Structure formats: C-alpha cells, structure tokens
Amino acid sequence: MRLNIGFVSTRFAGIDGVSLEASKWAGVLEGQGHACYWFAGELARSEPVSLRAAEADFKDEHNQWINSQLFASHKKSLRLARIICHYKSTIAARLKLFIDMYRLDCLVVENALAIPMHIPLGLALTDVIAETGIPTIAHHHDFYWERKRYLPLNGSRTYIHRAFPPRLPNIAHVVINSRARANLARLRGIRATVIPNVLDFENRPPADTERIRALRHSIGLKPDDMMFLQPTRIVQRKGIEATIQLVKELDHPRYKVVVSHEAGDEGFEYASKIKRLARESGVNLRFIDHMVTDPYAPRPQSNDRFSLWEVYQAADFVTYPSLYEGFGNAFLEAIYFNKPLLVNRYKIFAKDIEPKGFDVVKMDGRLTAGVVADIKHLLHDKKRRAKMAAKNYRLAGRHYSFATLRHELTALLADLFPHHCRDRQECPRAAAGS
C-alpha cells in the first residue's frame, strides 16, 4: 500500500518541536514507501512537494488581529464572524487545491486541530475533512486547556468546541502523552492513541569534530569552557531562570549558558527578563538561534550556520528546567547525544517518562543546594557520566525509538484503510485484538 500523505500545519520550518516531530513522521512514512507532501503558512520544504499558503501562518497579521479580538473580549461580533468565515473559506480553497494537486490519500494535521493559534485554519480543516471524507490523522501536541491564554471566552468558545479538535469519523486522533489522552476523552469524548515523541535510537548520530570545534569557536567559547545548553524556545514555561541560577551557584568563570532556540512566539518580554537576570547574576549568556538550523534539512556548509544536532554535540551539559511540556523533545535529544542533563519533574515527565528509570539529575520545581552539589560532582566524574549515558540510551531505544513510531503508524494506517489489508489478520490492530 503506497499512499500520498499530506502534512498540514501553520508552520513547518525551523527547530520547533512540531516541525521536528513532523519530519520524523515523514521520514518513517517515506521509509515505508509512502510519499509525503507539505502545506503550511511558513514552509521550509522544496516546491515540488509543497504548497505554501501565507494565510495559514499563525503570525499572519489578519490571524493576529482575530486572536486579539477572540481572546481579549467577552463579546461576539457579527463583523468578526464574517471576517473569520471569509478567511476560513480562503484557506479551505487552498487546502482543496493541495489535496487535488498531489492526489492525496490521507492528511496528517500537526497540532492545527489542537491548540487554537489559528482558528480559521482549524475551521477550514474541519470543513474540508468533513466535506471530502479524506482519512486524517490529527497529531495533537498541545490543547487549548493546557494554555491559559487560549481558554475560551464567549467570542471564541463556539469555534474552539467545533474544531479543536473536531469529532469526525474519518479522523484518527493521536496525542503524545497519557494525560492528554485522558483529558481528551473526558473533555471532548474523543478516543486517542498515544504515540510519544521519538528519535532514531537504532542509529547513533555521526559526529564531525571539526564542525563541533568550529561551532564552539564561532560563539566565542574557548576549548576549556563548559557549555551549558538550554535547548528550548525562550518562553516563560521553559523555566530558564533555573538555568541562570544553576550556573550562578556553580560559580565558575568557564561555565557559559547557550540558548539554542528563538524568542517571539509569545513576545519578547521574557527574553529581556532572562538577559537582565543573567547580567545581574554575573552569568555569561549567549543566544544563538540565528545560527541554528533544522537537523533534517541538508547540512549547512558554512561555519556560521549549524544544525541543532551539532549544537547538542558541542554542549557539555543540558539544562531542561521546564515547568510544563507536552512530552519533552529536549529530554530525548540530550540522551540521544549522550549528554548529562538536569530536568525538572514536570507532570508529563513524572507520569510517563520517569517510571522508565532514566538516570538524570532531577529538580522538583526549584533548584536546591543538593541538586547543585549533585551536578557539581557529576561534572567532575567522567565514569559516572559515561555510565549514565549508556543506561539512558539503552532505555530510550527500548521505549522511544523509530521502531515504536513505525509500528504505531502502520497500525493507524491499517485502521484508516482497512480495504488495503488483503487479510484482516495482517492489520496490526486486528492482530493486537483492538
């Protein structure tokens, strides 16, 4: 069974978690013989396999204005409803063109039916999926009830309940953690499959020592500097204050903090706050998002642009003090590159990941003297770091490898296209008795 599969979101570009996970899914699907195509408002894919619709970008000025009206007012407006309807219709026409242009058999919607960053896109998707009956996998990373700024007011409630996510018989819903599955069933009466984020633990990443050395040099690090990598976007829920506090407490002139991802998705106030805190704490802080590229894109040839994977390889220690995560890409990435790390016990980590037995330094909401002392000892104990890395890689390979994703996607597609199974026993879910 070879399918033409269309990926849809507001953005497929850069190093945000949704874009990275979509690339992994596409890589696995293409490895199974399927063809993948792309639709988004911001798109870093070649034209022969993609259709860009500027209106679908969540940063589009019209969408920003709509959000300012919907989430800042308790009043409904006929004028606003007409604008949303027109905007939705424009996007729906582009989606239908996308389906026809590439003769798509199936859609994979990445987060655009979960968190209402772009309500017209969600409404357009809901209409098109319902009208065409196209089999769809809705891959949900974050829901509106997990973000205070998206909690529905009177103006947005109807739209959110209609499309985030919609209940349609031709949609298979996928979430990335068990808590999201329970909440989706409780709040919306929708059944979902849990597929955690994954990495290619079947194949260890190659390392180019010259590129790694060039990266460290290009951001002003000396050979004996210790690079503490904060591999997250610069938003408040990432808890970057704890990273600044940690390096302040470690109190070593060679310890430097490097933040790999960008600010801006939720404004720039938090980035200014972090800069000020680092300055007042005497912590050397560098933002390098302008240098970091998608690790699934062709590798940059110059020494002023580096892939996210090269950034990890250049790091000595990874800090991940997030207050909330849907899953935790950075956690898996640190393990993939054999890096010791500090992780805050956010809810999904504590429920889904921690029970697997990973050996990491943990904080429980705040940085204590004991946590700082543990990290200080770890930084001076090479044997312990090597033992931790080997154990963690082995565990991650068991639970979060591409093999896991490959099996789950095969099962989902068998459910969506049962007529392609010559014998129902060949379908993974049938064999599993589900």
Cα–Cα distance, 237 to 221 (Å, whole number): 28
CATH topology assigned to domain 4-198+402-431: Rossmann fold (3.40.50)
- Identify the pLDDT of residue 265: 63
- Identify the pLDDT of residue 431: 39
- Domain 4-198+402-431 matches domain 209-399 at the CATH topology level: yes
CA 292 to centroid of chain Cα atoms: 16
Where are the domains positioned within the chain? 4-198+402-431, 209-399
CATH topology assigned to domain 209-399: Rossmann fold (3.40.50)
CA atoms within 13 A on the CB side of 307: 18
Cβ pair 118, 82 in contact under 8 A: no
Tens digit of each residue's pLDDT, the chain (434 residues)? 899 999 999 999 988 889 999 999 999 999 999 999 999 999 988 889 999 999 999 999 999 999 988 887 666 788 899 999 999 999 999 999 999 999 999 999 999 999 999 999 999 999 999 999 999 999 999 999 988 878 766 678 889 999 999 999 999 999 999 999 999 999 999 999 999 999 999 998 888 999 999 999 999 999 999 999 999 999 999 999 999 999 999 999 999 999 999 886 666 899 999 999 999 999 999 999 999 999 988 877 777 899 999 999 999 999 999 999 999 899 999 999 999 999 999 999 999 999 999 999 999 999 999 999 999 999 999 999 999 999 999 999 999 999 999 999 999 999 999 876 544 444 444 434 43
Residue 422 corresponds to which tokens in the numbers above?
């010559």
Secondary element (H or E) of residue 175: strand 171-175
* Ramachandran sector of residue 261 (left: φ over 0; alpha: ψ -120 to 50; beta: rest): beta
CA atoms within 13 A on the CB side of 69: 18
Secondary element (H or E) of residue 41: none
- Identify the pLDDT of residue 330: 95
- SS3 category, 31: helix
- Identify the pLDDT of residue 150: 82
| Residue recorded with tokens 């093999």 | 403
